[in-house]
Structure 1
Amino acid sequence: MAVGYTSGDPGKVNVAGDTMTGALTLPGPPSADLHAATKAYVDSSGGGGGGTPSDTVTAETSFGQSAAAGAATAYSRGDHTHGTPAAQTLSGLGGQQQLVVRRAYVTAGDIELPNVGSTWTLLAGLSLSIPAVVGDYVELALMAMVNPGNSDNFLDAAVVVSGSAVRYASNGTGTPASEGWPALYPSPGGFRTTGAIFSVVAEAGDLDGSNLVFGIASMGPGNSVAGDPKIYASSAYPFAWRAMNHRAVLLS
């Protein structure tokens, strides 16, 4: 019944405005802009009073975020949480070449050159290896003091596989030049210092496992005098060498 009834039908609501003493039940959901809406319709549309929906202004602004938040600050948004991001790290070198270096000073004792006639022989105690794969460009640099004495021993740097020389610095092949590497050519009558660089692009037959191994070979009659000729390799006069793997490079 309408409140404030004075005349007419007490079961009718005044179209000009009235107050009801009981609930009004609607026939269904609204179908026009000005239709009244049922509670069920309002609740299903996210506007009811059953808690705070996640897409309301209240939920979106409940961050609890630090005012100084940055890349390393954890924060939450009510419906999910962001942890602290991992620190950025470099992955690889961005396509740049990675230089690999191996170096050594040989100081265990001077190395006598063998008396083996015309046979090229690898010298014991002189070996330097560096990781490599086929196609790598590798340079060997050395510094040495040599005392050839009165002999005519020749010297050559070499790539070594399983204890055998497979490529020589003197000409880049498996057979050395007749007098070895010119950088190590003997000067009879006194000692001398020398330095040289040998470069090689690694091929399948140059690799000893996963390494490129360098050695020094000698050929000549030698000398009957003990300790002469020799390559100096002591703490006072070390034999120094360095291998550098530039990896794959463009060669012209």
Structure 2
Amino acid sequence: MDENESPAVRLDGVHKRYGEVVALDGLSLSVDRGELFGFLGANGAGKTTTIKLLTGQRTPDAGSVSVLGRDPSDDPVETRRHLGVLPEREDPPSFVTPREYFAFVGRVRDIDEETLDARIDGWTHRFGFRDQLDTLCTDLSRGQRQKVMITASFLHEPDLVFIDEPLANLDPVMQERLKAFLVDYTSEDNTVFLSTHHVDVAEGICSRVGILRDGRLADDRRPDDEDGRLLDAFFDGVRSE
């Protein structure tokens, strides 16, 4: 299969252990290009481990992983050129300004200065933090730092973005703006892999949701399935733990 025709994400029978702890237990999953895929699970279900495997930060003990048609551990540099990653609870460097941090990201991602300026302008307008561009990141609020990290993840307009709880620390208005942006972004054949334990977020914006339980894919469905089954499936899993 041509790389451009392959799924954005594929895991086949993936196992991952940390000592005696089984993080993933034969996880199989496929996400098509252009999907806004919600990865739903309780804390400790294995969501962060999955993202680390997909971004080449870890390798599986067994099974195979493919991202945009490549094994991320075999070709990490080329794979990451096409990825954006927004981990949970990660801040920008403290003693630089957002403008300086974006300039660094632009150099790493080979974004020319004019394009970078236009994209920074677009994001600061969307999130309303233009006045903080020259403030040290250490002096920004937690919500403002989150806006900086979101912006940095999208500056190079990646084909695939992994996001772990992106709405944390954003006020309700900014949350709605980001959700609308994610929907628009995937409408252009980009893919978003959204890890969350918030059912309302998954139901509200995702085109498809996988429910992770005990390191396995326990359910895979579209949020508009009848009878509120997505909500029931998630909480049935939580109650059974």
- The bucket for the TM-score relative to the shorter chain is under 0.3
Higher helix share: 2
Which of the two has higher C-alpha Rg? 1
TM-score using structure 1 length: 0.21
Higher strand share: 1
